[in-house]
Amino acid sequence: MINDTIINLLYILAAILFIVGLKMLGNAQKARQGNLISALGMLIAILAALVSHDVLQWQWIAIGMIAGAIVGAVAARLVAMTAMPEMVALFNGFGGAASLLVGWSEYHRYVTVGDFMEVSVPSLLIIIVTIVIGGATFTGSIMAWGKLSEKLPSKAIQYPGQQLVNALLLIFLLGTTVLFGPLRELMSMNSYWLVIITIVLSCILGISFVIPIGGGDMPVVISLLNSFSGMAACAAGFVITNNVLIVAGALVGSSGIILTNIMCKSMNRNLTNVLFSGFGSGKSKTGAGFQGEANPVSVEDAYFMLEAAGSVLIVPGYGMAVAQAQHAIQELAAQLEENGAEVNFAIHPVAGRMPGHMNVLLAEANVPYEQLKEMDDVNPTIESVDVVIVIGANDVVNPAARTDEDSPIYGMPVIDVDKARTVIVMKRSLNPGFAGIDNPLFFNDNTRMLFGDAKKTTQGLVAEFKD
C-alpha cells in the first residue's frame, strides 16, 4: 500500500489540474488545452484511487472501466455534432447514477458488514443526500435527453396539482434525509425498504421536475443538472471522506450554477420562471393575430436578391442543425463573399439547443471565427444590412419579444432581423418553433419565406451562384 500522504498529494495535484483546466476552458485560445489538463487530473485521481488500497476487487473494477470506456468513447466519437446537447445530458445522467450507486453501496456496507447502529447520524444523512441528488440527476438528465432528441414530446407536460405533487415528493425526501439517521432504531429492519423507496422517489422527482419544462428551456435544465451531478459527486465525497471528490464536485456544482444563471440571463428570464412556469405549454394568446399573408419566394428569386446584396447577415438556429445545413451555408457564405458581399453570422446566445451550439457547428464547417458575431454586436447596425438569411432560427429572431407584451418571450433579447432591409427565412413550414410560439416576422412586408429543407435550398442557392 502506498503511503496515504502520497495518495493525498496526488489528489491535491488532480484538484489543481481541475481548477486550472476549468479556468482555461473559459478562454477561447486555451480551452482545448484546458480540457486535456483536466483530463490529466482525472487520470491522476483514478490512478491514485487504484493504488490507494492493497486489496481491490480488480476484476470488477476492470470490467466496469473497460466497458464504460468503450461505451463512452464510441458514443463520443459517433454522435453527430447536432446531437451534442443530448449527449452531454446523457453523460451527465450516468454521472448522477454512479453517485447514487456509490451511496447505496456504502449504505449496504453499513447494513451488512459494520454495526449499523454505530454509524454516525451525519454519515447516514449524507448517504441519503447522495442518493437523492444522484437519483434526481439521473432521471432528470434522461428526461432532458429524451426531450432534446425528441424521443419524448418536447412540449411542457403539465397536469393539475403538479406543483403539489413535486412539493410533496420533495418534502418526503427532505424528511427522510433529515430523520433517517435519528429514527433508524425505530425502523430497525425496515430501514432498507425506506432507502429503496427513497431511491425510487428521487428518480420520480427527477422525472416530474423536468417533465413540465418545455424543450426550448432544456439547455438551462441541462446546465442545472450538470451542477447537480457535481453536488452528487461532492456528497459522495463526504460519504467516503474523500477530498478530491468534494473539491471537484463542489467546483462543478458551483460553476454550473453560475453557467445556468448566465444562460437564464441571456434569455431574459430567471431560474424560477424557467423551472416552474411551464414555458411553451400553451399557445400564445396573440396567436390568432398573425394570420397575415406570408410571401413565399423561389430559390431563383432569392438568388437574385442575394446576388444584388452588398452585405449579408446569416442567422442560424436549431433548424440548421436538424437539416445538417452548416456545410452548405458555409459554401453559400463563401460564394457571397466571392460575389463581393460582406458576410457575417449572427449568433444568438441561446440559438440551438445549447449556448454555443451554433458556434460549434459552424466551426465544424470551417466558417472563420471572425465572421461569427454576437447578438449585441450586430443589432446596432442591423438597419444597414441588405439581406438577412434566417436559417432554421425562429424564437431568437421573433420581433414579438420586443413588441408584444402578451408573448411568452416578451422581453427576451432577440436579433432584430425585422429591421434589416430584406429578410429571407428558410423554413420547412409556417409552424411555430420548438418553444411553440407564433412569429409575426414571417408575415412582414420585407420578409420572404423560402420554404423547404434548409440544406437543399442552400445547395440550390450555391448552385445558382456557380452557374
- Cα–Cα separations (whole angstroms), residue 183 to 105, 186, 195, 196: 21, 6, 13, 16
Decide if 418 is catalytic.
no
CB of 271 to another protein, least distance (A): 15
Question: Which DSSP letter does residue 14 get?
Answer: H
In angstroms, the CA 211 to CA 136 distance is 12
In angstroms, the CA 234 to CA 221 distance is 20
Cβ–Cβ < 8 Å for 364, 374: no
CB of 232 to another protein, least distance (A): 7
Q: Which residues of 36-66 are buried (b: 16+ CB within 10 A; e: fewer)?
A: ebbebbbebbeebbeebeeeeeeeeeeeeee
> 65 or 187: whose CB is closer to another protein?
65
CB of 166 to another protein, least distance (A): 24
In angstroms, the CA 52 to CA 48 distance is 6
> 169 or 220: whose CB is closer to another protein?
220
In angstroms, the CA 344 to CA 333 distance is 8
> 27 or 163: whose CB is closer to another protein?
27
- Please enumerate in sequence order all residues whose Cβ is within 8 A of that of 4, keeping only pairs 6 or more positions apart, or say none: 52
DSSP assignment string, 178-211: HHHHHHHHHHGGGHHHHHHHHHHHHHHHHHHHHT
In angstroms, the CA 117 to CA 239 distance is 17
In angstroms, the CA 31 to CA 427 distance is 34
CB of 447 to another protein, least distance (A): 26
> 111 or 165: whose CB is closer to another protein?
111
Q: Which of 340, 299, 324, 318 is nearest to 424 (CA)?
A: 299
Catalytic residue (choose from 217, 395, 404, 416): 395
> 104 or 290: whose CB is closer to another protein?
104
In angstroms, the CA 200 to CA 194 distance is 10
313, containing H or E segment? strand 311-316
> 223 or 284: whose CB is closer to another protein?
223
CB of 72 to another protein, least distance (A): 3
Grid cell 453536488 is found at: 231
> 84 or 315: whose CB is closer to another protein?
84
CB of 11 to another protein, least distance (A): 8
CB of 284 to another protein, least distance (A): 26
Among all residues, which ones are annotated catalytic? 395
